[in-house]
Chain A
Amino acid sequence: MPCSIHSFQFKTNSLKDETLKKPGIKDRLEDLFTGIYDAYRFILRFLKQAVRPPFDFQEIIRQCYEIGYKSLPLITLTGFVTGIVFTKQSRPSLVVFGATSWLPSLIAIAMVRALAPLVTALICAGKVGSNIGAELGSMKVTEQIDAMEVSAARPFKFLVVTRIIASTFMIPVLAMYCAFVGLLGSFLNVHQNEKTSFVTFFADAFEQISFLDLGTSLVKAFSFGFTIGVVACYKGFNAAQGTQGVGKAANTSVVISMFLIFIEELVIVQVSNWIRYF
């Protein structure tokens, strides 16, 4: 009995504390801006350390493997399904005009310009972002990062720089791969229905893709990759104490990087349209 009374009191106390501590709008804005400033300094620190020898090539390659190779199954599946589904869904509206021969170029434009980079980035924000956030977060809360720091092992370079570089370069590769697999899926469907040959399909598909399309797509993919790496490393490296901190680091890195990916998508598409019609 005394035990349960005790825990009851404990609960009410902690509840009261939480309501007391609930931050007002002013605190939140302040947190937001100090957060942005911190992130800015984090990026500067990354840029400074990234160009400064020694370079951890071995670890970068290991991270490329972790981020790139290990995401292949998921990207293959989503790319393929996206290709097939998009083809299936577009066909009825083209059939009305007797224009099903436009399918290859339509799909190619959709995949390369928009779907592949975005789908890849969102998938990787979930998979890679949460992975990095949780991994670095748990290293932070168990003092492993401090241990590296005091043994002069340059944890920022070893843990953060390598991961950001790997994700910046792997997301574009994965996005191109995703576009290719999507087109393959689309081809299978088109081949089945319209009996288009492989060569005709891809000739039609690539005819419509300009240098600007590819360039924009790559710029997008690079910035998505950089965003995922920076956000996840920042959240993990600065995780709050306790196991809660790890979960929060993983979770917020996914949410924030997805949010930023959509904003970047909007901005880059806008800019590329200006260039297109200049």
Chain B
Amino acid sequence: MENQHSIDRTQRVITIRGLYKSFGALKVLQGIDLDVFKGENVVVLGRSGTGKSVLIKIIAGLLPPDKGRVDVLGKEVDTISEDELRALRLKLGFSFQSSALYDSMSIRENLEFPMIRNLPKATRSEVDKMVKETLDAVGLLDKIDRMPAELSGGQRKRIGIARTLMLKPEIMLYDEPTAGLDPVTCIEINNLINEVQERYNTSAIIITHDLACAKATGDRIVMLLEGKVAKGGTFEEVFTSDDPEVKNFYNYNFIE
């Protein structure tokens, strides 16, 4: 394995049991079971529309599950009070598929926002220092006073990740961090994910279509097929199997 960090196999940070979710007649998740251990990067693969984004939105409490149980850091997301949910979310970092930068705010204000809203006692200089440190970590310190519209897609992704790092999360949820980026930028993002892992000692769920990203960042790969977790294991284990679905996915990725 290329990832050297330590994984604590006795401590689960996310536990999902029998998770179901549908939208009207559309069945999206049909019985997901998944564990994420402390310090582990889990990559979730699956074709477009299999419900990967829905899965992490349920983990972050943005969507309610229909059935099943989702525990994050020992708290059941769907049943805890609003205040508890907010406290839990302070420990979660969510990097959106669309970056979701606040486009009426500058990059500086984007990064300040979660901190100012949650730590009203933080002084101006503390906030400034933290913003600069975090921007430096993603290598975009020079863009501090730009507006989101002035950045490229890859830069927005990195700012989106930086914004989630402002509150020093314990768990990171990445929704397609490398989608639509060129190979070089992809590698940069992969390195960033691994750096975040080392620097903040996070656990992470990384959703992707990109096998290079999966290989570079994942300690464990799981595949979503028809609303269930179909395959699990290290990259080598999953992709040396003869399962036709897995083979399909693999071929599609490298032929494309």
Contacts and interface: CB of A to CB of B under 8 A. Distances in A.
Q: How many interface residues does chain A have, given as a range? A: 10 to 19
A158 B100 contact: no
Contact of B90 (A135, A142, A152): A152
A143 B100 contact: yes
A144 B114 contact: no
B92 interface: yes
A191 interface: no
A144 B160 CA distance: 11
B117 A143 contact: no
B35 interface: no
B118 interface: yes
A144 B118 contact: no
B60 interface: yes
B117 A154 contact: yes
Interface string A110-136: 000000000000000000000000010
Contacts of B87: 152
Given A54-B120, A146-B62, A152 B98 contact: no
A55 to B, nearest CB: 11
B120 A153 contact: no
A158 B117 contact: yes
Contacts of B114: 151-153
B174 to A, nearest CB: 13
Contact of B103 (A142, A146, A151, A158): A142
B163 A151 contact: yes
A54 B117 CA distance: 10
Nearest to A157: B117
Contact of A152 (B62, B100, B117): B117
Given A54-B120, A147-B94, A151-B164, A142 B89 contact: no
A144 B98 CA distance: 9
A243 to B, nearest CB: 13
Interface string B78-94: 00000000110110101
B173 to A, nearest CB: 8
A151 B98 CA distance: 16
A146 B57 CA distance: 9
Nearest to B98: A143
Given A149-B62, A151-B89, A152-B90, A144 B117 contact: no
Contact of B89 (A135, A144, A152, A158): A152
A144 B96 CA distance: 9
B55 to A, nearest CB: 14
B37 interface: no
B100 A151 contact: no
Nearest to B60: A150
Contacts, number: 58
Contacts of A154: 86, 117
Interface in A129-171: 135, 139, 142-144, 146-154, 158
B117 A147 contact: no
Nearest to B91: A152
B113 interface: yes
Contacts of A147: 94, 96, 100-102, 163
B197 to A, nearest CB: 19
Interface string A90-115: 00000000000000000000000000
Given A152-B86, A152-B90, A142 B62 contact: no
A149 B102 CA distance: 13
A150 B94 contact: yes
B167 interface: yes
Nearest to A151: B114
Interface in A219-259: none
A151 B113 contact: yes
A153 B96 contact: no
A34 to B, nearest CB: 15
A153 B113 contact: yes
A146 B62 CA distance: 7
Contact of A144 (B60, B100, B167): B100
A144 B101 CA distance: 6
9 contacts: A143-B98, A144-B102, A144-B103, A147-B94, A148-B113, A149-B89, A151-B113, A151-B164, A153-B117
Interface of A: 54, 135, 139, 142-144, 146-154, 158
Interface of B: 57, 60-62, 86-87, 89-90, 92, 94, 96-98, 100-104, 113-114, 117-118, 120, 163-164, 167
Given A143-B96, A152-B114, A154-B86, 8 more contacts: A142-B103, A143-B98, A144-B101, A144-B102, A144-B103, A147-B102, A151-B117, A152-B167
